[in-house]
Chains A and B, each alone.
Chain A
């Protein structure tokens, strides 16, 4: 046997051994009714053709390799951004395990979240008892300051009424009557994770501002000079929110970050386990009502929240995940306009540095074609940045993007001479993307970790920008917003371009005459 206790091989190596290779070959031959390899090859090649693409795009029902996640995931993302708040997911516990592992794999941090653990009887008789017990246990075991309730499909299908259930639970003494338990219905069969984020954000502000589900008087808005900032569902939340705070502090802006999960997903290793860390305080969440304006960094993450806030008398404005010089300019100018604070010299310098860096490297990016997929706002932000660099975002795809979003992307294409040959694909999946990468080939693919299968199948080098990124560590610590964030994205793109050149020239005595140390 190749595997021995003295020298345990990991799976990279083990199954390459002759014994395993022989065993697998035999198994295939004798039990798997193998196809003619030539036929397999023919079909594989056929799947790269325009003919196959047409069939692929004619799919009506099946989704293959979706580039989106479910509402409850976004719900949890938003909830942990509040001070000592635990997300409570009313529904099956299996779902909750997914959210926790998803975030843990992306942020490399523990991710605390509880479930009402509904089982079959709850599905038949309703989940009220699970809510009553669940809230009581959560309150007593984890001592949170707030429990943010959202749902899974199971609870939604049977129509559990969160408002009524929470009231009943409070009456039954699960938690004190005045204890904050905001809630949002977040079925996965509607929208995607960005919808879940939106619903929870709206639920929490509705709770604090509009009389806590009828238990107190609505808050009276006393306008002040502060501004609220909402980041939206963002894989770079740790780096981004810290960067935004730095920018606001430099400008002297009085601000509240709403749903600040930048600390809870980046806790230090110093001997203390922090189930909660940082976050928007409940007081801040309530007082956010009095702010002068609310800025959402991602329009499609706040489609309900922002109008809700706007109806309370704020000026509200939304961006589309701004990346790069022009987009950051626009963002900062709006902040400056609203707050009356000038842009400090420090930021002006950072802007100059980013322009400088882009100019230094422009020749390498100019005219390169990119395919991008991801959340609608991220796609818009990255496509805008690529156009700014003189690259072509040839293919832009969002499984959770709708026609309105597609129109917006098209308008962005139309605004630049580099957008002429670009196309937007709303509601399509990564199997569609696979066809596109064959029939409309590009130089690079930008997407999350799942893009690596596309990289493998199509040979298109993948630049990992998005959520989730499981197979590379710590990128979430770097901002992609602000001029410094733009610099990071620029460097990631350039790194891949140069890696690809190196990879292309690395064969000794064959291609390495161009394997240069200076690029």
Chain B
């Protein structure tokens, strides 16, 4: 287990993860094992995360070492699609029993591997560790090693038993396993200057196939997709790619970053959700390949293809404008994969409520992100009556959400469209966005929504639950308004940190009592933001409101400016705000790529790209603002 815990530590040290970098050393040790709150509804475990990440490798036998629970519940539970082998869908498990728990399950595991190889002869066997064998001390690494030597076939241990942490950690541990045992173990038959890897894409609903023809047309070869519709040999020889695109946010960032480190494969974080994002990603792929030696004419062809595909997509979407006129969409959770989905909806004529977003400016992007990010947690805690009020106030026609909140939305009489989980349609790429708009059209016009919103005909409209709920809430608000003591109590009772259940009052008291000035300090004293960390921003706001931060800043403007400039923007390459601003001013930089060239910022995972763009904006806008002031005077 020592190697497992060191692997986990390594994963926690991931420099590509901005969230991780903002943590203190002690916090980092604890890692992103957001300690799940006992009694709370929890997400998947590390085993699940590892299985989900690797399961789409289609020609591999995925053997789950453990009692039936683990494979029984995860067997073929994702709609990944395969263009070849179907062995990945076969449920292999050692299905250990009581005797195995007493005497150890290693022999059974070894025999199971043997039988898989004898009967199915896959190019590799992936062995997944689970809680029970991990706890009784089954050494799957040793068994896999022995089996590999004996049968002359890769047998890969995936050491990610459920108890080590959440799903997200499992994704990364799966990444570590293929980094250690698979990637770089074979050579491709040939290479081209147009070979790329796609990392963190699972080919759900065959989405990748909506993008692949475009890459094919450009002559860009997907050397390996990790792991959607992936083949073992492709992944094993993926270290020869020229560039990589990381798709699913942070799930496999360690794979992308370490491949850059070890094999000099630069990567960027991109998405094929949305028209703009698809174009950006294609451009980025082309530019990376050109930087690595591909013929620069690739960019011309890419631009031509983008122009053609964008036009086709926008034309198709434009047809819906008349049907969407006056329809309002309420965005709810972080389930929306990308802001540019939102851009497509707006282009199709839908009005977004809850935001005053216009099309695709950076501020709008941020606002959408903010809106979705903040509410991601909120929705889980919301009572139907609260949700109903929100939906009613927003006067929305439909709610756009991830899978989890759909059912609550429905109970609150709200039409919803799930564009995230358990999708049946592929929304990736240009055609995918057209399909999404088509689905929204269906959802908007399905007659059941009218039915969902109408109370039953026998309901007294004055006395249905919706109106009673509103009345109750109003009564409560009125009572609070009349009673300042109770109002203060209610205000202080507002939960700030969901993971650790910390309310506003506790945080305020701690700030006062210990004169805290930082989020870290608050975390130490109250535990708030010690879970997923999503409430750090809110804690910061509280600090600001209480004057805990601003006081310091005002007293010494020079120090404040220094602090502002020292704020790190790019965690991967350790570049701060000041360095970037100076570079922009000194060289008159105007684009992200230029900043990257001069400062290395955004040269890692690329997630700071937007912040740099903001800085670019503010440096140039700062001048504008100055001149406006002068003019006004």
Q: Residues of A with Cβ closer than 8 Å to B?
A: 325-326, 329-330, 332-333, 336, 342-343, 348, 351-352, 355-356, 358-360, 362-363, 366-367, 387-390, 416-418, 508-509, 512-514, 516-519
Do A517 and B77 touch across chains, with their CB atoms under 8 A apart?
Answer: yes
Do B86 and A366 touch across chains, with their CB atoms under 8 A apart?
Answer: no
Do B86 and A512 touch across chains, with their CB atoms under 8 A apart?
Answer: yes
- A351 to B452: give the CA distance in the assembly, Å: 10
Q: Does B446 contact A (CB under 8 A)?
A: yes
Q: How far is the CB of A497 from chain B (nearest CB, A)?
A: 12
- A513 to B445: give the CA distance in the assembly, Å: 31
Contact of B79 among A348, A359, A509, A518 (CB under 8 A): A518
30 contacts between A and B (CB under 8 A): A326-B451, A329-B457, A333-B457, A336-B458, A342-B458, A343-B456, A348-B458, A355-B448, A358-B448, A359-B410, A359-B449, A359-B452, A360-B410, A362-B443, A362-B446, A363-B424, A363-B439, A363-B446, A387-B447, A388-B451, A389-B447, A390-B442, A417-B445, A418-B447, A509-B86, A513-B82, A513-B83, A516-B79, A517-B77, A518-B79
Q: Which chain A residues border B446 with CB–CB below 8 Å?
A: 362-363, 366, 390
- A519 to B77: give the CA distance in the assembly, Å: 11
- A291 to B410: give the CA distance in the assembly, Å: 42
- A343 to B422: give the CA distance in the assembly, Å: 37
- A516 to B410: give the CA distance in the assembly, Å: 26
Interface of B is mostly: loop
Q: Does B81 contact A (CB under 8 A)?
A: yes
Q: How far is the CB of A437 from chain B (nearest CB, A)?
A: 25
Q: Which chain A residues border B614 with CB–CB below 8 Å?
A: none
Q: How far is the CB of B425 from chain A (nearest CB, A)?
A: 9
Q: Which chain A residues border B82 with CB–CB below 8 Å?
A: 513
Q: Which chain B residues border A416 with CB–CB below 8 Å?
A: 447
- A388 to B446: give the CA distance in the assembly, Å: 8
Do B442 and A363 touch across chains, with their CB atoms under 8 A apart?
Answer: yes
Q: What is the chain A residue whose CB lies nearest that of B79?
A: A516
| Given contacts A359-B410, A367-B442, A519-B424, A513 and B206 within 8 Å (CB-CB) | yes
Do A388 and B206 touch across chains, with their CB atoms under 8 A apart?
Answer: no
Number of A-B contacts (CB under 8 A): 72
Q: How far is the CB of A340 from chain B (nearest CB, A)?
A: 12
| Given contacts A356-B410, A359-B410, A508 and B77 within 8 Å (CB-CB) | no
Q: Which chain A residues border B456 with CB–CB below 8 Å?
A: 329, 343, 348, 351-352
| Given contacts A363-B442, A390-B445, A508-B86, A355 and B458 within 8 Å (CB-CB) | no
- A516 to B203: give the CA distance in the assembly, Å: 14
Interface string of B446-465 (1 = CB under 8 A from A): 11110110001110000000
Q: Does B375 contact A (CB under 8 A)?
A: no
Q: How far is the CB of A337 from chain B (nearest CB, A)?
A: 10
Q: What is the chain A residue whose CB lies nearest that of B446?
A: A390
Which of B82, B448, B457 has most chain A Cβ within 10 Å? B448
Q: Does B508 contact A (CB under 8 A)?
A: no
Q: Does B76 contact A (CB under 8 A)?
A: yes
- A188 to B410: give the CA distance in the assembly, Å: 51
Do A366 and B83 touch across chains, with their CB atoms under 8 A apart?
Answer: no
Do A388 and B447 touch across chains, with their CB atoms under 8 A apart?
Answer: yes
Q: What is the chain B residue whose CB lies nearest that of A508?
A: B86
- A277 to B600: give the CA distance in the assembly, Å: 88
- A512 to B82: give the CA distance in the assembly, Å: 9
Q: Which chain A residues border B458 with CB–CB below 8 Å?
A: 332-333, 336, 342-343, 348
Contact of A366 among B76, B442, B457 (CB under 8 A): B442
- A450 to B206: give the CA distance in the assembly, Å: 39
Do A325 and B451 touch across chains, with their CB atoms under 8 A apart?
Answer: yes
Q: Which chain B residues border A417 with CB–CB below 8 Å?
A: 445
- A501 to B227: give the CA distance in the assembly, Å: 26
Which of A417, A514, A519 has most chain B Cβ within 10 Å? A514
Do A388 and B448 touch across chains, with their CB atoms under 8 A apart?
Answer: yes
Q: How far is the CB of B419 from chain A (nearest CB, A)?
A: 12
The B51-110 residues at the A interface (CB cut-off 8 A) are: 76-77, 79, 81-83, 86
Which of B410, B445, B447 has most chain A Cβ within 10 Å? B447
Q: How far is the CB of A134 from chain B (nearest CB, A)?
A: 51
Q: How far is the CB of A60 from chain B (nearest CB, A)?
A: 40
- A355 to B584: give the CA distance in the assembly, Å: 58
Q: Which chain A residues border B77 with CB–CB below 8 Å?
A: 517-518
Do B448 and A390 touch across chains, with their CB atoms under 8 A apart?
Answer: yes
Do A355 and B206 touch across chains, with their CB atoms under 8 A apart?
Answer: no
8 more A-B residue pairs beyond the given contacts A363-B439, A417-B445, A513-B83, with a C-beta to C-beta distance below 8 A: A333-B457, A348-B458, A351-B456, A359-B449, A367-B442, A389-B447, A508-B86, A516-B76
Contact of A518 among B206, B422, B447, B457 (CB under 8 A): B422
Q: How far is the CB of B464 from chain A (nearest CB, A)?
A: 10
Which of B81, B411, B458 has most chain A Cβ within 10 Å? B458
- A514 to B86: give the CA distance in the assembly, Å: 11
- A519 to B443: give the CA distance in the assembly, Å: 17
Q: How far is the CB of B198 from chain A (nearest CB, A)?
A: 18
